[in-house]
Structure 1
């Protein structure tokens, strides 16, 4: 068993984990498709083992994931080094909205989450409250790493609508996962309803009175 290295491979496990997350499959299914054991995948993700060239080539052939990105973080998940500024700005905005909605429990941000999820963000420009909120909103400097990871991880999505939903889901999940469990429980108990913000395509329950179409 090889020990974790101190070179550029230090982040390989984290990047592999991110790739599996964005492929929306389990580690076991990922292992099956690339012809490896689940235990080996787990060891690579944890930095316990170093993958060989055949393994990396298999990931490239099966999922189109860039070997350079896996090994060093250079470029993006599917290769290429060009920066899409419009996408980067959109991600910064989504991260800021997600933080305000989940961490600050801001009702305006929660309304914006629904508009972004449904591809109706342009409606915010017609609402003075939402427009003013957007004008003053910007991502926290502490979220730069999250913005970068989301940018690199979602360039592979070719469908713009799916890309926006996936980005928003990842941003919300990031902040939800960091909320104290007792705080979530107390908020749910106080409201008598689930506090979780659902942003899947089949559910639209940002509040008790919001019904699916």
Structure 2
């Protein structure tokens, strides 16, 4: 529902008006207090072109297009890695695994650590590719290419901003890590080292 609001560019009251529901009910649905009924789902589809299947299950895309299946995408990446190793590098373990895949006997590979070690070596985890799939599925609804790219960039930046290393001491004290000032007691008074240094540098210029 929150994504529908962002997609439509309306507030809760306007969304409620367009689908013929009360603003209070829409607010309750957004907060998870109440579940939308058939009339609300159909109203969303008619007013905003939103897929009812997507609203109910989260599968596919907001407007009903087929998204990338994450499980299938991962399987494809792994099979490419195994095929490359078996054909290009003539790796015996990869060739054995390739044979098991062809014969539909992958269950036999689950207990063999050699296969796990092979996959860890040839197909390391790539969080950026997983993120690309999530962003693709989550932003297919945008019809304006400029807005779509802007939203994709904002989502990617927000993803990494939330995961970048944190200066825990600065977070604890509330200090600004970008402009640190160190107060030094010299006995003749107090000096702020960072500011004194910059002021001294300016006077020398």
> Under a length normalisation based on structure 1, what TM-score does the superposition of the two structures give?
0.45
Q: Which has the higher contact order (CA 8 A, sep 6+)?
A: 1
TM-score for both structures, normalised by structure 2:
0.47
Which has the greater radius of gyration? Answer: 2
